[in-house]
Chain A
Amino acid sequence: MGNLSLFLQHLTNGISLGSLYALIAIGYTMVYGILRLINFAHGDIFMLGVYLTYFGILYTAIPWWLMFIIGPALTGVVGLLLERVAYKPLRDSPRITILISAIGASFLLQNLGIVLFGGRPRAFPVPHILNHVVKVRGVSINVITFIIPVVTILLLIGLNYFITKTKTGMAMRALSRDYETASLMGIDINRIISVTFFMGSFLAAVGGIMWGARYPQLMPLMGVMPGLKSFIAAVVGGIGNIAGAVAGGFLLGLGEIMLVALLPRLTGYRDAFAFVVLIIILLFKPAGLMGSTQTEKV
């Protein structure tokens, strides 16, 4: 295998991992954009998404491909309920209170996962069609590595359409700017917030399923690291900005894979890479790559 094909292999791996970070990061950034809240439980929602789908495939007659849609939808509902239970009652409280509630929700979901699902790792039942190696010009790649970016891009196109073209998407953008005036337009704020949580959780679950297909080991704490890194991706891109979250996700995914590939001696620092990027960005561009300091004209 030549150097070029090896590089291409790393590149596809990086894009694939970056796609997953991007999908999870969108949930962080959308919720932040509207509630100014870092939803620390988002990584655990990602974990729940994988488990729900896992149990659906194993213990029901529902075919796996349908479960790949039902699982995220159920996860979306869980995300929506989480907001209703843990965040909505605190909406008028100081921001730190709701942040602590988010951290609490995260621990709760993790421990609930351990109690309900057991701490022992489970193997995700990856359908063969998604899990075989193909050779393209001498580069051998697992098909899932291709599927992940394609699914991600399709979801991003859909999301972009939703945000820019639909009435609910417009209301979402208005709400991210000015709550009170949005309610003066007759916008049902609670509904828009619910939709936001549903969508963020749905995307995280889709990311989770693809994560499970790629690294087929399920654990109740599996959401912690991807959640943390995706949160960093959202901050690096400029939190509150969806395009920024996607860019941050790809940057981190590619960077992490390339670090391991090009400097194998630093493999042990793989997880530290994201934090180094975060520190550098916060030092030189605190608002993130695409974050803007908003100016208002009077």
Chain B
Amino acid sequence: MNNPVSLPLDSLHKEMGGHITDFHGFLLPVRFSSITAERQSVRDCAGLFDISHMGRFVIKGKGAAAAVNHLVTSNLLAVSPGKALYGILSNPSGGAIDDIMAYRFSDDRVDLVVNASNREADKKWIEEHLPKGVSLEDLSPGHVGFALQGPKSAEIVALVESGAPELSRRGALLLPVSGGDILISRTGYTGEDGWEFFGPAEQVSRIYRQICSVGAPFGLKPCGLGARDLLRLEMGYPLYGQELTPETTPFDAGLGFAVSSKKGDFIGRNLLLDEQGNPIHYEDHRLLVGFSVQGRGIPRTDCAISSASTGKVTGTVTSGGYSPAAGGGFGLAYVDRPFAEDFALGAPAYVRIHDQSLPIVFRTRPFVQGGLI
């Protein structure tokens, strides 16, 4: 195992009292104060996350947008230039290589933000599939990325020079600076309004510090990975490696909205459209479901789900946690497809936590609008 990489904001995080952890080979704060308090600040006002571990690629050259469109499940050509799009890099079997954000700036330039753990694999896969004249540039090493998230984000970003308050939801722009450009977009991973910045360390670190200070009077808190994971789980958003793997398709994960049947050919298209049209042939694919726990227990990754009527194990928890809003445990699980339908209709089931079986009930996603809050 290589030594974990220290990111440019690392020393600042330590000054700010961050508790640092090794996340996929990157040293990042898991929390500054308390995970619950940080999560609350994002739901009530604002929070600031270091996301410098995420990868950023620039795909450039004649037909770059069409080339990326061939690699993702969603339709990049249907969004206007200056907009971001969520999509899945699919393998030929429809499984997920990664889930990514694609920022279309023109027919000849698309920026991609990818998961830290998949950066090298993504780069290799994309480069292998780009046509002549289209190239990939990896801007990740040494860059800084951060996310400002929460209902007060618009007010805070308006106070920052080069904050791009004019962006609409999923809008994106490139701000030229010495040493490159800053990718700014009105996007995020928490379900709240927010802005994300990626670019050269010096300039983006300066904006990060500025947001820290102008945001403080609004109640902004620096936040760690703990709050980030809880916030995304409350929204039911997938985390690659847990809800998405090379063996799971977007339909298995409930991400059918990210698969376009109208666009032209793309890698994985045939099997994905077949799964969409003939789900009966895919009964061996498990389906992702949301649930909450009745009683005292917090489900964690790999806890078993069983059917109360048959007593058989029918699924496995992929992500779980404690909802401060609901005062109980909740999570996401892959369950056998026939059982998923019964469970959604109210069939009783259990989750196994520390040698105890606790009843669970089906929940629609996002949890934060599905009855937990």
Report if A and B associate in a common complex.
no
Q: Which positions in A face B, CB cutoff 8 Å?
A: none
Q: Which positions in B face A, CB cutoff 8 Å?
A: none
